[in-house]
Amino acid sequence: MNQGKGRCLAVLLAMLMMISLVASSAHAVTSTKPADFKDVAKTKWYYDYVMSLADTGIVKGYGDTGEFRPMAPVTREQAAKMVSLAAQLDIYGQKADFSDVDAQGESSPYIAALVNKGAVQGFSDGSFRPQDKVKRADAAKMIQIAFGLELSTKEVKIIDLPSTDANLAKAIEILASNGVVKGYGKSHAFKPDQEINRAEFAKMLCMATAAASVQNAEAIGTYFTIGQAQAQVDRLSKTQDADSKAFLQERLDIFAGLVNAAEPSDREKVQEDIEWLREYMSQYHGRQRYFTIPEIKLPEHGARHGCNILWDEVRTGAGPGARAAYKTEDGQYLVIELGQRPTSPGYYAKTSTIVAHVQNDGWFASVMFSIFTKTSYELPYYEWEVIWHY
């Protein structure tokens, strides 16, 4: 497959994914798209970044003011929540253990998630200091570790990397090598000791999300992860940071071009094993709304024709406490926890999507098994979607 075909395939998959998401949102009785913040003008450089985070529920305004306050500094408490949500860290049931953080408070699980990830830590006196302002270097370290970003190939031109803290310098370098940060204007100065504001933080989160998706596609190498990455790159601002966006797109195009499409054969075998897989997973249909299934055996081969089955995970949690499905370390079991109810009556929440890639010789298909639940105490229901890759 050449790079042009790889690009077309990635775009096609991204479109299919978006169509699926749009279709699933039809279950909601009201639109979830937020209104523009009254202090975030469409002409501002940060508009696309802020609204992208707002669209996905990562940021909200201040109370009923309708304001985002883009120039306000980011506190450690705010950063913990924004990063945990953007990086899709596991916050379920976690509690922060600091003298100045309410273990039952709203911020507690987000702070705990970052601490467990190694992205932040407390102070020697046992405090977290949630209202302290975040410096740009600390924001870089927090984001780099939370997203698991690794050093990439974009030229790093930043001239003021911290000389007294190698970990901070490394984090900034890694972000710059992925196109997430590049410094102020043409000066190439990052200003690591300067407090970061909410607009700057929003941009870093959006860029890091796209970079992490591309890195994930390169590591896993499935058509589905390529499509996921393409969707994230396409969400980036169309007017800002064109060089960084082009860098990520080039990485994705090159990798997509390396994914070879096999010659068609034995489609019927794949189709029958998909039907078998649907029957297999249907045994979990109709469980109670609040439930934990600690040991769902994930088959590695189809029972009818022995097609290879590769499992992915997709976190699309909605509502407070909702948790998507995930695999244990050995990759053999799946845990599903629907968590607390969303607050809007009648709203159908897509809490998790499990993806199985079924392959036999040259035929390859992705089966998307989506779990929905309603705010009332009804049983969850399931939907299937099959995407064929040629």
Last residue of a domain, one of 258, 278, 310: 258
| 3-class SS of residue 286 | coil
126 shares a domain with 248 = yes
Question: Domain check: are 253 and 319 in the same one?
Answer: no
Domain shared by 172 and 278, yes or no? no
Residues 143 and 247 in one domain: yes
How far, in Å, are 33, 39, 140, 255, 296 from residue 236 at the CA level? 17, 21, 19, 19, 37
> How many folded domains does the chain comprise?
2
What is the length of the chain? 390
Domain end marker among 258, 289, 309: 258
What residue numbers bound the domain in which 357 lies? Answer: 267-389
pTM above 0.85, yes or no: no
Joined together, the tokens standing for residue 225 give 């992860």
Of the three residues 223, 258, 293, the one that is the final residue of a domain is 258
- The verdict on 300 and 277 lying in the same domain is yes
User: Is 39 found in the same domain as 179?
Assistant: yes
Can you give the pLDDT of all 390 residues of the chain as single tens digits? 344 444 444 444 444 344 343 333 332 222 334 568 999 999 999 999 999 999 888 998 888 888 999 999 999 999 999 999 999 888 888 899 999 999 999 999 999 999 999 999 999 999 999 999 999 999 999 999 999 999 999 999 999 999 999 999 999 999 999 999 998 888 899 999 999 999 999 999 999 999 999 998 888 766 667 777 888 999 899 899 999 999 999 998 887 766 544 333 466 777 777 777 777 666 554 443 333 333 445 666 766 666 777 766 544 444 434 444 444 444 433 434 443 333 344 444 444 566 677 777 666 677 766 555 444 444 444 455 666 664
Q: How far is Cα 58 from Cα 370, in angstroms, rounded to an integer?
A: 22
Tokens of 71: 């120039």
Residue 160: Cβ-neighbour burial (10 angstroms; 0-12, 13-18, 19+): middle
Contacts of 84 (CB under 8 A, 6+ apart): 91, 109, 110, 113, 114, 146
